[in-house]
Amino acid sequence: MPSPLDRVRIVLCAPSHPGNIGASARALQTMGLSRLVLVNPQRFPHADAAALASAATGVLEAAKVVSSLDAALEGVALAIGFTARERQFAGAVLPVREAAREALRYAGSGDVALVFGAEMSGLSNDEIARCQIIATIPAAPDARSLNLAAAVQVAAYELRVAAQGDRVWSAPAFEPATQESIAELFAHGERTLVALDFFRPSQPRRLLPRLRRLFARARLEKEEVNILRGILARIDERLERLEQTEK
Name residues contacting its own copies, limited to 213-242 (CB under 8 A): 214-215, 217-221, 223-224, 227, 230-231, 234-235, 238-239, 241-242
Binders of its own copies among 169-198, rule CB under 8 A? 169-172, 174, 193, 196-198
Hey, CA dihedral for 40, 42, 44, 48, is it positive or negative?
Answer: negative
Residues in the chain: 247
Decide if residue 97 touches its own copies (CB under 8 A): yes
Nearest-approach distance from CB 23 to its own copies, in angstroms:
6
Q: Which is closer to its own copies, CB of 48 or CB of 184?
A: 48
CA 29 to chain CA mean position, Å: 14
101: left (phi over 0), alpha (psi -120 to 50) or beta: alpha
Query: Considering only residues 14, 157, 181, 229, which one is a binding residue for its own copies as defined by CB under 8 A?
Result: 157
Query: Could you tell me which residues come within 8 angstroms of residue 226 by beta carbon, excluding any fewer than 6 positions away?
Result: none
Closer CB to its own copies, 72 or 127, in the complex: 127
Report H helices in the chain: 18-30, 47-53, 57-61, 69-72, 96-107, 125-128, 148-164, 179-195, 207-218, 222-246
CB closer to its own copies out of 43 and 97: 97
What character string, x for contact with its own copies (CB under 8 A) and - otherwise, covers 48-67? ----x-xxx-----------
Measured distance CA(89)–CA(76) in Å, rounded: 20
Map residues 114-153 to x or -, x wherever contact with its own copies holds by CB under 8 A.
----------------------xxxxxx-xxxxx-xx--x
The CB-of-200 to its own copies minimum distance in angstroms stands at 12
Rounded CA separation 22/127 (Å): 23
Name the residue nearer to its own copies (CB basis): 14 or 207: 207
In this chain, which of 11, 29, 82, 102 binds its own copies, going by CB under 8 A? 29
HEC letters along 88-101: CCCCEEEEHHHHHH
- Write down the least CB distance from residue 108 to its own copies, Å: 19
Question: Cβ distance 75 to 9 under 8 Å?
Answer: no
User: Does 46 interact with its own copies (rule: CB under 8 A)?
Assistant: no
